[in-house]
Amino acid sequence: MTKILVTGATGNIGRLTLKHLLKRRPGSELVGLARDPAKAADLTANGIEIRQGDYFDYEGLARAFDGIEKVMLVSATAFTDRNTQHQNVVDAAKQAGVQHIVFMPIIRKPDSAFILPQVTEEDLFVEGRLQASGLKYTLVRHPPFLDNVEFYVGGNALETGVQAPAGMGKAAYASRDDLAEAHAVVLSESGHENKAYSLYGGPAVSFADIAKILSQIGDKPVTYNVVSDQEYIAHLMAQGLSEPAAGFVLAWVHGVQAGEWDGQTADLERLLGRKPVTAAEFLRASFAGHLAKGSNDTANGY
Ligand SMILES: NC(=O)c1ccc[n+]([C@@H]2O[C@H](COP(=O)([O-])OP(=O)(O)OC[C@H]3O[C@@H](n4cnc5c(N)ncnc54)[C@H](OP(=O)(O)O)[C@@H]3O)[C@@H](O)[C@H]2O)c1
């Protein structure tokens, strides 16, 4: 029996990946890695074994990977020495006899000079480790999450208008749920070994486009208000983000405005066997929820 292990099982994308894997494989073939297995009771209830493990604990990882054929490595959190953690996972997987690792770098445009702090160099590092490991690997490259667009536009855009630094850059955001389903396809099929996919959603939208979409959702004009970088950070901090988190969001928005994620491939659609969720569909569902609740709760990931 081949076993598939997904790390970050208690986080958003790891949990969603296991949820989609359950539609393709019996729970008995699935394993989740969690720092705190008590937070994964819902997965255990579905027959998924949860093994304890921390990216910083090499020996524990090697034990957790025993008998596993494929590992989905959910990328480590920014600002937490991602290189050490990713290297531990790759090396421990190799030691334990894992055959294949699926990793989720952020899409980089060929020849782009754009560097996303805490992300670009760390992604290049783990890709180098994977190539050097001799293991089979698949790179499922992600665009920015649709789930974080609410942050990018300032949190409560239906009330305040879209607040973002100047630019007409577009991004082909994808939802975490679609990306997780694509992970499940790659993990449960053969034929994806040593391939790289760019999982753009689409069509790409600008902040002006998002203001138009929100105007339709709220049935009232939602303007795109250009703010300076300093004003943007202050606005996000007023929404409850810490200064480093707000600065990190700003770096993603600079990438959007530079057109770093405005590309298009059929990779995500091909893996899903259907069109990915669009920005308009996603925002309609999430903002409609806020309108119904009368709240401005926002998705996160930072
Ligand atoms: N494409 C994008 O727009 C975008 C945006 C932001 C972040 N990301 C990246 O995507 C990743 C997944 O996103 P997400 O929304 O699923 O994040 P998330 O909900 O924060 O999940 C992160 C998972 O990683 C686990 N984790 C953190 N540190 C760990 C460690 N030292 N050892 C083992 N597990 C550890 C967490 O465990 P606990 O439950 O114990 O905390 C959690 O399960 C993020 O970590 C980040 O690298 C992408």
Cα angle vertex 46, ends 44, 50, to 5°? 30
Å from CA of 222 to ligand 1 middle: 32
Beta strands in 79-119 (DSSP E): 100-103
Domain architecture of the chain: domains with CATH: 4-141 (3.40.50.720), 147-170+202-262+278-293 (3.90.25.10)
pLDDT of 290 above 90: no
Give the separation between CA 24 and CA 128, rounded to whole angstroms: 31
Task: Express each pLDDT in 165-221 by its tens digit.
Answer: 999 999 999 999 999 999 999 999 999 999 999 999 989 999 999 999 999 999 999
Angle at 162 between CA 161 and CA 164, to 5 degrees: 140
Residue 155: predicted pLDDT: 82
Cβ–ligand 1 contact at 180 (below 6 Å): no
User: Does residue 76's CB lie within 6 angstroms of at least one atom of ligand 1?
Assistant: yes
Do the beta carbons of residue 75 and residue 14 sit within 8 Å?
no
- pLDDT at position 288, please? 75
Count of other CB atoms within 10 angstroms of residue 1: 8
Relative to beta strand 136-141, strand 100-103 is parallel
Ligand 1 atom closest to Cα of residue 85: 31
Phi, psi of 271 (to 5 degrees): -65, -40
155 pocket-lining for ligand 1 (C-beta < 6 Å): no
Instruction: Enumerate the β-bridge partners of residue 225.
Output: 163
* Nearest CA-CA partner of 102 in 130, 128, 124, 80: 130
Question: How far apart are alpha carbons 38 and 19 in whole angstroms?
Answer: 17
Which pair of structure tokens corresponds to residue 81? 């020495």
**Helix, strand or coil for residue 8?**
coil
Centroid of ligand 1 to alpha carbon of 78 (angstroms) = 8
d(CA 33, CA 50) in angstroms, rounded, equals: 6
Whether residue 77 has its Cβ less than 6 Å from ligand 1: yes
Nearest CA to ligand 1 atom 11: 75
Ligand 1 within 6 A of CB of 35: yes
Please, is 266 exposed, middle or buried when counting C-beta atoms within 10 Å of its C-beta (0-12, 13-18, 19+)? exposed
CB 101 within 8 A of CB 137: yes
**N- to C-terminal Cα distance for the chain?**
36
Cβ neighbours, 10 Å, residue 132 = 9
213/281 Cα distance (integer angstroms):
9
Question: Residues 132-181: pLDDT tens digits?
Answer: 999 999 999 999 999 999 989 988 899 889 999 999 999 999 999 999 99
Q: Which of 77, 116, 139, 253 to mutate to test the pocket of ligand 1 (most atoms within 8 A of CB)?
A: 77
Exposed / middle / buried, residue 159 (Cβ in 10 Å: 0-12, 13-18, 19+): exposed
The reported pLDDT for the residue numbered 202 is 85
Instruction: Calculate the CA dihedral of residues 85, 87, 92, 97 and round it to 10 degrees.
Output: 140
**How far, in Å, is the centroid of ligand 1 from the Cα of 205?**
25
pLDDT for res 295: 46
| CA 13 – ligand 1 centroid, Å | 8
